[in-house]
Chain A
Amino acid sequence: MTAPRDSDRLIRAFLAEGQTDLPDRVYDEVRSDIEHTGQRTVFGPWRNSFVNRFVAVAAVAAVVVLAVVIGLQLGAGGPLVGGPGPSASASAPASVEPSAEPSTEPSVEPSVEPSTGVEPPFTCDLPITLVAAGSDFHPLITQDIRVGTHDGYDRIVFEYGGGTPFLELDLARPPYIQDPSGLPQTVAGSPVYRITLTGATKYDTETGAQPYQGPTNFEPGYAQIVQFVEFGDFEATHNWYLGVNGGDCLRAFTLLDPHRLVIDIQH
């Protein structure tokens, strides 16, 4: 029998073997790629300086004041300044599945989004990836999941406390396999995309809490989102499949306060 210490030594020796040089052509390809790849604009980190904290507090205060003003106007029955707001342009169709009702409130999401044009352009190049941010390398607990429809796009929002996970969004081909059961499942719509969120989970294993208890299968009947369904929440990897209606270009980006990961599907 091989003693554990011997086997550890053999494993180390085994892993020590192999290539350790990255060929020059890869550096050249990276260099060529970044020549026409911009860097994502990141707002924050807010916690690192007094000035940034002040700016964050001021921004939150501005949003609160705006919300109060809009609320007063709505309460008085008067029209919104500047025409119909996001909530007016994003009414959910009557055919929303009952299971999706608690989280298909489209008027919630746009009212807290910046309208400063920070959203990236839509792209049809897949996969789309977003690096994890601000998580301090601990799994992020899902606080909320919402879908909504807007003028020109449908939107999916994952909300987290403390950061956003690594995202990979790619075209999926059947069979669509549930994780970790390994069972194939169907997804309505075509094409179908796989959304992998690495470093995120609904369950807080330290406290046993599960802040998000809403639906894990959305069939809202929007122009693009046909079905958006959870396929796995296992070992801090949260998998979803998204079936759409014909499909167009997509975009993914993050928002702060609270931390949100946003996926838009263009109409």
Chain B
Amino acid sequence: MSELNRLTIAEAQKGMAEGKFSSVELTQSCVDAMQARADLGAYITPTPDAALEAAAEADKKRASGDEGALLGIPLGIKDLFCTEGVQTTAASRILQGFKPTYESTVTSNLLRDGAVFLGKLNLDEFAMGSSNTTSYYGNVVNPWQSSDKPDMALVPGGSSGGSASAVAARLCLGATGTDTGGSIRQPAAFCGITGLKPTYGRCSRWGVVAFASSLDQAGPMARSVEDCGIMLGSMAGYDPMDTTSVDTAVPDYTAELGAGVKGLKIGIPREYRVEGMPEEVEKLWMETADQLRDQGAEIIDISLPHTHSALPAYYIVAPAEASSNLARYDGVRYGYRADAPEGLPEFSSLEEMYATTRGEGFGQEVQRRIMIGAYVLSAGFYDAYYNKARRVRSLIARDFTEAFGQVDAILTPTTPSPAFGITEEPSGVEMYMNDVFTVPASMAGIPGISVPVGLSKDGLPLGVQLLGKPFEEVGLLRVAQAVENAAGFTATPQLMA
């Protein structure tokens, strides 16, 4: 029983249904794993006691005939989802100690279906980052190690780095993530797991700390395509509290798994061949295409001409929205409030309290993005930056609409490189390049999934990304599973529990 934490969600469901083990045993194995691998920094707030209680409750429910889709399955929750009574920080000092009096819709849905929450997972502060090194609560470490430099701690990617690291290291069976420009797919690729960003509007944003409202989307991160499908079935749904959530029925996302790709058309966008991309990335991408062709898919070269405009447009839209979304963190109603200056009993003004609280409460990357956002929206620049970016966004969306006139899914690499060392982290714009392949789908609002397909020459996982038509996650998962099967990715990380 010691390795229950290594099961997939589907396997665990089966085992519990067959009475082979209980949720308490399964949850205990995850709790043990969390303690054993606390050094990864994956959790900001572990809640083992509450988890074991919930597991016992789930076992009782099962005994009385309940069969919730996730009954008794232990999951980690990205600390961007508000959870009632459990500290929710967004990895920021400014939300230190904040205990929501409400539960996000997505986590409510998971609880409704019987899931057990192990705790709140680390992330980049306010989900801003691609390396999980901007968290106020410390870096997250990738459980994979490079064969070249085994002593070097690697980044798990970001912003859902805690989620990816925890799933990869077997500290939970699955985790929630959020994706604004690649924050599910990129860390999934870096950590050798599967991560799905659904169509914008598929999962409710209610109760999820906002980064960039027009881009943010919650999604599942797990160790198989099937598990992602199971989780999405629970997370997704129309929510009257989020008017950007779309009122369409939630299908069975596992319905078409195993149907193969025979007769499907898969697009290979030529613009994703970027300069300086390691050969191994290109090689795995092409091998995946070949495997799909072998299974009967038609591989078609396509063009997404505005691919390279997506990243610069993103770095206008996302900071602009973020600068406004983060204005509410002012030390008045919740979270951190700075102390008055040394030697003074109080602030001289409200303005001073705001600026000091925000200056101390937000980390550097967040402050940079807030300032960029304020700048591009400021008088005289709005049209040149923000509206220009919105127009470019229309072009990007149009590219995909046209492409999906020809193909059923699009295949690309997820990232231009495997995970890098925490100390080797590129800075500034170079760092942003990590998201070059994931951002276009975010800008267009279409679904994308990263599937691990192989290892780099240094033994680090690499993923490919599949993009699909809006609200056609069922078909996307079907193609993703064909890729998963063909790749047969079974490698496990060195720092696994």
Do these two chains interact? no
